[in-house]
Amino acid sequence: MFGWLAARRRKKIIASAFPPEWEETLRQNVLFYPLLHDSERLRLREMIQIFIAEKKWEGCGGLLLTDEMRVTIAAMACRLILYLPHNYYENVETILVYPSELALPERKIGFFETVMEPVEPSGPISGQAFEQGPLILVWEAIEQGLRTPGSGYNVVYHEFAHKLDMQDGRTDGTPPLSGSEASDWISAFSREYSRLLSEVQKGKDTFLDEYGATDEVEFFAVATEHFFDQPRETKRHAPQLYRLLKQYYRQDPARQKTDGKGKT
What residues make contact with Zn ion under the rule CB under 5 A?
120, 218, 221
Q: Which is nearer to Zn ion, 31 or 125 (CB)?
A: 125
Closest approach, Cβ 206 to Zn ion, in A, equals 17
Which CB sits closer to Zn ion, 52 or 221?
221
Q: CB-based contacts of 84: which residues, under 8 Å, 6+ apart? A: 164, 249, 250
Helices (H), strands (E): how many in the chain? 10, 4
CB of 6 to Zn ion, least distance (A): 29
Residue of 207, 224, 211, 219 whose CA lies nearest to 125: 211
Which residue type is seen at 123? G
**Cβ 212 to Zn ion, closest distance in Å?**
9
Calculated CA dihedral for residues 248, 253, 254, 255, nearest 10 degrees? 110
In angstroms, give the least distance from the CB of 159 to Zn ion: 7
Query: Which of residues 42 and 116 has its CB atom nearest to Zn ion in the complex?
Result: 116
Residue 162 or 235: the one with the smaller Cβ distance to Zn ion is 162
Residue 73: CB minimum distance to Zn ion, A: 16
CA distances from residue 188 to 5, 61, 80, 242 in whole angstroms, order as listed:
42, 41, 21, 10
Cβ partners under 8 Å of residue 196, min gap 6 = 206, 208, 210, 212, 213, 219
30 or 218: whose CB is closer to Zn ion?
A: 218
